[in-house]
Amino acid sequence: MSLLAAVVESSPSEYYFQLSSSGGGDVSTSPAKVVSTPLAQGALVLEAADSQTCAIYGSAQGVAAAANAVLTLGCASSQASVTISNAASKDTLSVGRTGISGINITSASTSGGVMQINGDSAVGTETIQFGPNTNALNALQVGPALAVSLANSPYTSQVVVPQLANGTGTIPGASGVVLSNPATAGLYLISASCSSLDGPSVASQISTIAMWNGATWKTGGVIEVPNAAGTVSFSPAPGTAATINFFNASGGNLVNMSFIKFPLFNGLISGMP
């Protein structure tokens, strides 16, 4: 597009430009209106002559409120669809009409504060999806309400296979069982389970939460007293922490015992010692 004509109206605050294609194309039948303001800190306003045509406009600001400049993209006859603002010491980008749908991105008001990405609606049932392309939009989904889900989440895509103790389910007194390690690093619920109603065995169904970094277990264990005769425990292997061990010191044999490693979080956790 090239500038075809510029006419200054009797009011010096309004300028009209008519645009035309340099190749002889259609001339705009609804010229844009460019409006300045008499305020020293006033915002430039760009509107369309047709109220149904999308426009770009900014609200005029005085000197005292110069830090609260707002730029809005939307239709003059509708609510704003995109707003860029630095009011209230925050830089805010809002996409979507308020109360309908959209995303509000807000920076922190202070250094080291928390930046926010919010669903900009009072309905509360929308979802925000993050993904690499149109074939995987829900790699990360936030919503509806307070729900958060990940693609290939352990809650939906992994099957837990119990490990039968010693291949038989029996753990003699004063002996232990080494649990097999998971294939991937992550945070796991380690739990003992008994498939019968045997008293001492049922009482030995303990659990712990442990972090596996792919080589060692980076958490402590747990010890409980299932009866008056002794204890049962989960613990990383002494000296190496290369495995999780279950030890039966309850004073009797445990039967029909198995173990599960349920993934709570896949991957490494930054800062885990």
pLDDT tens for 81-106 read 788 777 777 788 888 776 666 778 88
- Is there a contact between 140 and 150 (Cβ–Cβ < 8 Å)? yes
**pLDDT value at position 215?**
93
**pLDDT value at position 114?**
85
Residue with tokens 């704003």: 80
**3-class SS of residue 88:** helix
Phi-psi region of 249 (alpha: psi -120 to 50; beta: other; left: phi over 0): alpha
**pLDDT value at position 21?**
46
**pLDDT value at position 42?**
46
- Is there a contact between 232 and 223 (Cβ–Cβ < 8 Å)? yes
Q: Which helix (H) or strand (E) holds 211?
A: strand 207-212
Q: Which residues of the chain have pLDDT under 50?
A: 1-10, 12-13, 15-31, 37-43, 60-66
pTM (2 decimals)? 0.51
**pLDDT value at position 211?**
92
* Helix residue ranges, H only, the chain: 154-157, 199-202
Per domain, the residue ranges of the chain are: 1-65, 159-266
- Is there a contact between 179 and 237 (Cβ–Cβ < 8 Å)? no
Specify the amino acid at residue 217: W
Other CB atoms within 10 Å distance of the CB of residue 248? 27
Residue with tokens 């110069």: 66
**pLDDT value at position 178?**
96
